Amino acid sequence: MLHKMGGLLNLPIFSLTSGNKIAEVKNFILNTETEKLQGIVVEEDGFIDLKDVYSISAEAIMVVLEKITDKRPLAKLEPPLFLPEDLIGTPIISESGKAVGEIGDIILDGTTTMIQGFEVSDGLFKDLVSGRTQIFLSDIVAFGEDVIVIKKEKDKGEV
């Protein structure tokens, strides 16, 4: 099932074996090279590696841990690792140089933990009137630190 990452923040994280709530989602670490979720950041400098995540739903995240054992301050991430907020607001342009919008949210497959694509924000008014469009990873030509470049044919309003 596909999820907007913004909607997964603050979800409870439960132990699959005990049924106890062990944390809440505070952030995510994404890997743009593997196009996957790398892990989950929880309160008090905790981290849950992807290998310990059993399932992700719109209501909760289930893990195969009894408690958070990996506690360390979150260091500054270097590409290809990003926090979602590092990507939100990144401008999107087409190969022809046309501004398409900016990343408004990240779409994650909760089953495979793969990044499926991005919601494109074209400004609050247009978002409210027309809704947000989506681009998929297959549409992306270059994933830079300054902009994301998408295929030329996607700049014709088909994004």
My answer on whether 38 and 108 are in the same domain is: no
pLDDT of amino acid 132: 65
pLDDT of amino acid 130: 62
My answer on whether 53 and 112 are in the same domain is: no
My answer on whether 52 and 109 are in the same domain is: no
pLDDT of amino acid 159: 40
Residues 61-92 have pLDDT tens digits of: 999 999 887 776 666 777 788 888 888 999 99
Domain span at 18:
2-82
Identify whether the C-beta of residue 61 lies closer than 8 Å to the C-beta of residue 110: no
Residues 10-20 have pLDDT tens digits of: 999 999 999 99
My answer on whether 39 and 66 are in the same domain is: yes
Residues 97-152 have pLDDT tens digits of: 999 899 999 999 999 999 999 999 876 556 555 666 888 888 999 888 899 999 97
Kindly report the CATH number assigned to the domain that includes residue 46: 2.30.30.240
DSSP conformation letters of the chain? -EEEGGGGTT-EEEETTT--EEEEEEEEEEETTTTEEEEEEETTTEEEEGGGEEEE-SS-EEES-SS---B---PPP-TTEE-HHHHTT-EEEETT--EEEEEEEEEEETTT-BEEEEEEE--HHHHHHH--EEEEGGGEEEE-SS-EEE-GGGGTTT-
pLDDT of amino acid 124: 56
